[in-house]
A and B are shown apart, each in its own frame.
Chain A
């Protein structure tokens, strides 16, 4: 186990800035997920840590030691590539053994090490095969085994599940956390899949355009996305986003949806009157009786059963689309008129122009107090 510190990293390709003054700390034994769209600079960042590309500015510290000018082979990290990057002219055994041969271990030690990790990843029966003869899943496990075999204190995983089929990805998503925990290494894991990020990360760093936009635990990011974009990236079905203008009435802040007031208890008076976007997770909305307080009339358009939940698309009176999610198996309307209620405690407001999450009242009040 070891720590990783990145200090003011800048990387440019020609005139394009790929990493823009990026600073990041990964704690000892932590699993940090780098999440973001393609082109965000995640892979570049990982390669920079591995030492196969150099930053234009900034320092890379591994275990507190400045490794910026140290060659890749002396950094002692393990890495799995998105495209596997297996050595096509070597057997799976030799592929996995490559980090051990570099240390000049004895033949027996190497064989034992390879066998152990191969068994763990269930590829011990294909060790004599060349990559060409391996299935995609086996290739992926071989690449993973190669990264794990030397028990590196820092493990870099570049979207290792990207190029495998859905079934395998599902299996591995369950298997990987256990595997990584057993390894005990500090892990930086790159992915574009929010479920993978939520399942694997102690913390998630959301990257876009060469910067870290938000960093926090999966819950923090899910429950308080720093801006609309991040809110949209996390969550399936995606978050409902509705243009609203908060108003004040009876000491409360509320927004009107189809002329029905939805109270936003968490927000203070500072948001009143400014154009906002209301973010509602589909699970923050539920179907209710017409008589229930705060019931909003809608028309149910379609229903999609997913594995563990049922998602319903409804239209408000003004024709705005709303996604509603409920646990699978619970009753709900399938078509026609219905009513929904919104849990105002789970709603968030974004500034319409900047897209940034607006601070909740308690925080805002605190800040106002400090300023006063």
Chain B
């Protein structure tokens, strides 16, 4: 493997450069756009040399857009707030529900445990609209349509299987003897769960939580079907934003940058666990 010819070295370097350019360029370009005014964006040929402006971000944050036709209100910050609230709350609920269940599945091979675990996993692979479309009607009857409560409930479809399967793997990695030792020392199962299992699976639970957050944040279809404008997260909001008249392209770019920054930051922070999380524990990173 160490005997690479100079030609091969160059070819490999070239290939890698192309790969990096292809995958990084869009992020880079949109980032640049977010600091540009319409004049520089529309300039031909495009240039990466321009005098950057924060006006796009300022407009988004204040929610006031100055256009030729007058002042336009934009609800982007509200969308951002919705994204944060929906993702955080969904992950919190999923952790509260999922971690004990994951523990039960990992520690007790009770009757039907595998079947139940697989049923939960199969949610990950079912077409979301299959559930969502009838759900719109149920939600109307239940008064849950366009409520945070209803959305957070549906978000469990993404968060719960993810947390269940990843955390279960971490619990399985804890030696049963360690827990037995604590029980024999005179502690209840709950004390054992709290003082032994939870701290030892802690990093895994945190990683699963972060991943669930990313997935919840990036979800589009649930809110598209179930939420109206005031409850929409950024994924749906930003799209609606494009079609609204009078908007500046730089502002769309800025909205995208603001929308993707949280997940990118978390991904970089938790990258050690990404492989395991993305493959639901099938591949150790």
Contact = CB atoms under 8 A, between A and B. Distances in A.
A228 to B, nearest CB: 34
Interface residues of A, number: 27
Nearest to A79: B184
A36 interface: no
Contact of A85 (B178, B189, B191, B199): B178
Contacts of B45: none
A52 B108 CA distance: 12
Interface stretch (A96-104, A268-276, A288-296): A96-104
Interface in A87-113: 87-89, 98-99, 101-103
Contact of B200 (A73, A89, A98): A89
B164 to A, nearest CB: 23
A71 B181 contact: no
B252 to A, nearest CB: 48
Given A83-B177, A85-B177, A88-B178, A103 B186 contact: yes
A81 interface: yes
Contacts, number: 65
B205 to A, nearest CB: 14
Contacts of A87: 178, 181-182, 196
B181 A146 contact: yes
A77 B184 CA distance: 7
Nearest to A73: B186
A50 B182 CA distance: 12
B75 to A, nearest CB: 46
A160 interface: no
A85 B196 CA distance: 12
Highest count of chain A CB atoms <10 Å: which of B182, B183, B184, B196? B184
B200 A99 contact: no
A88 B191 CA distance: 16
A201 to B, nearest CB: 22
Contacts of A71: 183, 188-189
B186 A102 contact: yes
Given A87-B196, A89-B199, A89-B200, A72 B178 contact: no
A29 interface: no
Given A87-B196, A88-B200, A89-B200, A81 B181 contact: yes
20 contacts: A50-B180, A51-B184, A52-B183, A71-B183, A72-B180, A72-B184, A73-B184, A73-B185, A73-B186, A74-B186, A78-B184, A81-B181, A85-B177, A86-B178, A87-B181, A88-B200, A99-B186, A101-B187, A102-B186, A150-B186
9 shortest A-B CB distances, which residue pairs?
A102-B186, A85-B177, A72-B183, A99-B185, A52-B180, A98-B185, A85-B181, A73-B186, A79-B184
Given A71-B183, A76-B186, 9 more contacts: A52-B183, A71-B188, A72-B180, A72-B183, A77-B184, A81-B180, A98-B181, A99-B185, A102-B185
Interface of B: 175, 177-178, 180-189, 191, 196, 199-200
